[in-house]
A = this chain, B = another copy of it.
Amino acid sequence: MSFPRPAGVSRNRLTTGVLAAGVVLASLLASPAALADKTEDAIQYRQAVFQTLAWQFSPMGAMVKGKQDYDAEEFRTRAERLALLAQMPWEGFIAGSYDGDTDALSKIESDRAGFDKRAEALMTQSRALADAAASQDLDALRSQFVETAKTCKGCHQQYRAD
Chain A residues in the interface with B (C-beta under 8 A): 1-3, 5-6, 8-9, 12, 14, 41, 44-45, 47-49, 51-52, 55, 59, 62, 68-69, 71, 73-74, 76-78, 80-81, 84-85, 88, 92
Contacts and interface: CB of A to CB of B under 8 A. Distances in A.
Given A52-B48, A52-B52, A3 B81 contact: no
B81 A88 contact: yes
Nearest to A51: B48
Nearest to A59: B3
A81 B7 CA distance: 11
Contacts of A5: 71, 73-74
A85 B48 CA distance: 12
Report how many copies the assembly holds: 2
Contacts of A2: 68
A81 B81 CA distance: 10
A129 to B, nearest CB: 15
Contacts of A81: 6, 9, 84, 88
Contacts of A3: 59, 62, 68, 74
Contact of A52 (B62, B68, B80, B88): B88
A70 to B, nearest CB: 9
Nearest to A2: B68
B12 A71 contact: no
A79 to B, nearest CB: 11
Q: Pick from A52, A55, A71, A84 the residue with the most CB of B within 10 Å.
A: A52
